[in-house]
Amino acid sequence: MASLAELARDIALQRSLLLYRLAVEAARGGDYDHARRLVEHALELLKRMRLRKPYPLRRLVCRNCGAPLIHGVTARVRLREGRVVVTCLLCGYIRRFPFRAPGERGAAGPRAEEA
Ligand SMILES: [Zn+2]
């Protein structure tokens, strides 16, 4: 049986994801300020409950202006020399995430040379 503290943390996690979904809806509707406030609220909640940020709040939020990054709507996504380049279309902030294609040396997952 989960303790009250565990339940509270789970509710906070679910609520942060709900806030993110609402932020995406607001951004799609063009209300970017409201979207940013919802994202801010979600991040504040996670911090207060000392929770690890779930994927969307880690990767799909602009580090500069706090807007939700929706591919093709508020963010441009391009592949460049082993990196995913995500540009925020609202403020122009750029983030780069390295990746390796499957089968390439150093790719994630089981590797042939280690077998
Ligand atoms: Zn931005």
Q: Give the DSSP letter string of 39-85.
A: HHHHHHHHHHTT-PPPHHHHHSB-TTT--B--BTTTEEEEEETTEEE
Measured in Å, residue 105 CA sits from the centre of ligand 1 at: 33
Residues 73, 22: Cα–Cα separation, whole Å: 15
Measured in Å, residue 90 CA sits from the centre of ligand 1 at: 5
Terminal-to-terminal C-alpha distance of the chain: 42
The pLDDT value given to residue 106: 60
Place 112 in a pLDDT band, splitting at 50, 70 and 90: very low
One-letter identity of residue 34: H
pTM score: 0.83
pLDDT of residue 108 exceeding 70, the answer is no
Q: Are β-strands 94-98 and 83-88 bridged in parallel, bridged antiparallel, or unpaired? A: antiparallel
Measured in Å, residue 93 CA sits from the centre of ligand 1 at: 5
**Percent of the chain's residues with pLDDT above 90:** 83
The pLDDT value given to residue 75: 98
Measured in Å, residue 58 CA sits from the centre of ligand 1 at: 14
* pLDDT tens digits along 74-105: 999 999 999 999 999 999 999 999 988 777 77
The pLDDT value given to residue 103: 74
Coil, helix or strand at residue 100: coil
Ion ligand 1 residue ranges (Cβ < 5 Å): 62, 64-65, 88, 90-91, 93
Measured in Å, residue 67 CA sits from the centre of ligand 1 at: 6
